[in-house]
Amino acid sequence: MTSSPDCNQPAGQAEALLAHLRRLTDLDAPTGFEEPVLRYMSEQLGSFCEQVEHDVRGNVYASLAGTTADALRIMITAHADEIGFLVTSVLADGFLRFTRLGHPTEMVLPGQRVRVHTASGSLEGVIGVKPGHVLAASEARTVPPVSEQYIDIGATSQAEAVEWGIEPGTPVTFHGPLTATAHPQRYFGKAVDNRAGCACLLELAKRLRQKRPEAHLEFVVVVEEEIGLRGAEVATRRVQPDVVIAIDTVPSGGTPDLRPDELPWQIGGGPLLKVRETKGLSTHGPLRNLFRRVADEQGIPYQLIVDTAGITDATSAQQASGDVAAMTIGLARRYSHSAAELFDLRDVSAIVDLIAHTCGAIASRDQLLRT
């Protein structure tokens, strides 16, 4: 693999990606409540694609015809949803009990700022934490189970919280604005998983409209990834693609609390090419090799990864069709499923470059055959 830190990116690509990321991460769209992101993506994709459609499940489909009528069909996908919470009950004194939506990292919850989304607007809140002054030694070393935690929105009574629009099933998200670090390319915030993938979809649609490949393209924004890769399965059955490229984020190493061999890929090292997912995808070998060849030809850095803890939409897409080549392109990010997922913008831009060039190199089914 190449180790070059830079590649030839179109002027303004990084700036455009960052602008989309700021807007997308500012939107609150937990699983089952993805409408804000779906609306934004539908509007933006409509500027570049010939047709934008929606299914009842919520998936957004944006089509861009290739230059050859009988060419292959490539589906490029990213999920709209973020992890979050659901209110389960309102206590007599106005505090909110809640449950997880997806898999937010439980150890970071106490003291975390959140936003509670009612039908009439969002309310600021905090997940309560017992004062350190009165914690027993054993309590100070443990995180209470989610069933014992609560959200404080400043309400003084159950009636007041209900009057503000709180009811069972009200969604909650982390409060974590996209924030620049002192490093000019590194940012952190909530919902980087997978608004980074959504931003890549928009830039890919813009770029491939200007320089169309032979293949027909379907840019698909899917729902319900965080609770079982559900939207992508529905989308694949509808599109019937020859190739699926799923863009998602992946936990990275490089921090003091991980051994160098635990997650031996890092932010800033380029796109992640998955070889296998634990309990999930075994990526299509010829397609993976094509991505590697294109990366080497274009001087795009990349990292091969094996057996991450999570799985991606490429897994459900691969199983939904018996005749598809599936691949995951990952963005390394630290502090998974927290309010401060940290990433390197150069990796996001390199993902766009790699996928754009590879789409241009896919010309026939013979390239995908495992013989």
Q: Is 226 annotated as a binding residue?
A: yes
Q: Is 103 annotated as a binding residue?
A: no
Place of tokens 């190199």: 361
Helices (H), the chain: 13-26, 35-45, 137-140, 158-163, 192-210, 230-239, 285-298, 313-320, 345-361
Q: Is 193 annotated as a binding residue?
A: yes
Neighbours of 63 (CB within 10 A): 17
DSSP one-letter code for 136: -
The closest of 167, 177, 84 to 120, measured between CA atoms, is: 167
CA–CA dist 26, 20 (Å, integer): 10
Q: Is 82 annotated as a binding residue?
A: no
CA–CA dist 338, 285 (Å, integer): 33
CA–CA dist 93, 173 (Å, integer): 22
Look up 225 and say whether it is catalytic. Answer: yes
The closest of 276, 279, 214, 205 to 243, measured between CA atoms, is: 214
Q: How far apart, in Å, are the Cα atoms of 270 and each of 21, 213, 267, 355, 359? A: 18, 23, 7, 13, 18
Q: Which phi and psi angles does 297 have, rounded to 5°?
A: -65, -35
Report whether 245 contacts 77 (CB < 8 A): yes
Looking at 203, 218, 224, 225, which residue is catalytic?
A: 225
Report whether 194 contacts 247 (CB < 8 A): yes
Active site residues per annotation: 225
Pick out the residues of the known binding site.
Answer: 79, 193, 226, 248, 337
Pick out the residues of the known binding site for Zn(2+).
Answer: 79, 193, 226, 248, 337
